[in-house]
Amino acid sequence: MTSSAQQQISLRIRKKYPHPAEPLIPLARVCMTATIPYIMKSATLPAPVLTIIRSALDEDIQGGDLTCEFFVDSKSMSSARILAREPGILAGSEIAARVFQEVDPRIMVQLDQPDGASFSKGDTLLRITGPTRGILSAERCALNFLQRLCGIASLTRRYVDAVKPYPVKVLDTRKTTPGWRWLEKMAVRAGGGTNHRMGLYDRVMVKDNHLLADDRLDDLQNAIDRVKAAHPGVMVELEADTLEQVENFLTLRGADMILLDNMPPAKLREAVTLVHGRIFLEASGGITLETINEVASTGVDAISCGALTHSARALDLSLELE
């Protein structure tokens, strides 16, 4: 989205619901409970995330909330709570807080617990006070973010729990909602998972389609050398479909990881024995909650699961005025 488009979206929202110009959540507006010493990790959000929030509000509000304009007194002040209708893992609380404050900076949001905390049915997740119109206008957008992100965190926690007692990292993938990658990977971390690469720019992954173009070991070695020279510190991962490929990749200087793609547990065990700790091994391909523990038992270092983000359902949350 161009900067002019972002400005137009922001101006349309501000025309009806002015908000501070600076891209910071006012710390005085986000209150923490005394019983849980939770400190925000950062008062800033990445510019693309602010764009998503403002786009969502513009999509919903546009020229104004007609219901609130005609049925809610402009001077009315209220308190509200966001409640859990089912158990889960909290993620996206600061995003939800920002939604309310984009609509009306006078709204105060109290975060009762940090992202990553577990909650039960009936628990209060956020407490909101301020102008009633602003609270009700922001309600659906705030819940949309919170329900989606809590859903990802909750599903991730189930996968993380399922690999116990094995010391295996549960990784996400790039199979994320377009535009939401930062948000969804944040939710994976809240659920106890580990982020894989953020995009094509921060890690090399040589997959089967790349290898179809050129799988000669000399050419692979030359490419790895050039990557390491141009981008020191960037990790290089190679995808292997067979044990023969694993054995060949072990001869390459500078390779950091091997992804074992769609291998059954027996083959994974053979790969682990073959590698004998010489390189980091990631298992991937069709991993489910029912199969992940058996995969973890093979001795691989990590298991990546696209389902963490592409198959998570939104949790059932609601906002209730008090």
Report pLDDT digits (tens) over 266-286. 999 999 999 999 999 999 999
Query: Residue 236's closest CA among 195, 203, 209?
Result: 203
User: Which of 140, 189, 203, 228 is an active site residue?
Assistant: 140
- Angle at alpha carbon of residue 319, lines to 317 and 320, rounded to 5°: 130
User: Which of 175, 203, 267, 269 is an active site residue?
Assistant: 175
Averaged pLDDT for residues 181-192: 97
Residue 23 has pLDDT above 60, yes or no: no
Confidence of residue 17 (pLDDT cuts 50, 70, 90): very low
Query: Residue 307's closest CA among 289, 295, 283?
Result: 289
Query: Residue 211's closest CA among 202, 203, 220?
Result: 220
Higher pLDDT, 48 or 296: 296
User: Which of 139, 237, 239, 282 is an active site residue?
Assistant: 239
Question: Which residue ranges does the chain devote to CATH 3.90.1170.20?
Answer: 3-154+313-321
User: Which of 94, 172, 261, 282 is an active site residue?
Assistant: 261
Based on the residue annotation, tell me whether 174 is a catalytic residue of this protein: no
% pLDDT > 90, the chain:
81
The CATH T-level fold of domain 3-154+313-321 is Aldehyde Oxidoreductase; domain 3 (3.90.1170)
Q: At what angle do helices 47-61 and 3-16 cross, to 10 degrees?
A: 50
Based on the residue annotation, tell me whether 185 is a catalytic residue of this protein: no
* Residues of the chain by 3-state class (helix, strand, coil), percent to 5: 45, 20, 40
Average pLDDT, the chain: 88
Report pLDDT digits (tens) over 115-172. 999 999 999 999 999 999 999 999 999 999 999 999 999 999 999 999 999 999 999 9
Residue 38 has pLDDT above 90, yes or no: no
Which residues, in sequence order, are CB contacts of 99 under 8 Å at separation 6+?
A: 53, 56, 57, 138, 141, 142, 145
Based on the residue annotation, tell me whether 239 is a catalytic residue of this protein: yes
Averaged pLDDT for residues 45-68: 94
Tokens representing 231 are 């981008």
Spatial distance between the Cα atoms of 224 and 214, rounded to a whole number of angstroms: 13
pLDDT at 12: 47
Report pLDDT digits (tens) over 201-211. 999 999 988 88
pTM of the model: 0.86
Averaged pLDDT for residues 49-76: 95
Confidence of residue 45 (pLDDT cuts 50, 70, 90): confident
Report pLDDT digits (tens) over 235-251. 999 999 999 999 999 99
Question: Which residue ranges does the chain devote to CATH 3.20.20.70?
Answer: 161-310
Tokens representing 27 are 């710390």
User: Which of 106, 121, 164, 207 is an active site residue?
Assistant: 207
Residue 75 has pLDDT above 50, yes or no: yes
Based on the residue annotation, tell me whether 322 is a catalytic residue of this protein: no
Averaged pLDDT for residues 165-193: 97
Specify the CATH architecture of the domain 161-310: Alpha-Beta Barrel (3.20)
Confidence of residue 213 (pLDDT cuts 50, 70, 90): low
Based on the residue annotation, tell me whether 207 is a catalytic residue of this protein: yes
Confidence of residue 19 (pLDDT cuts 50, 70, 90): very low
% pLDDT > 70, the chain:
86
Tokens representing 313 are 């359902």
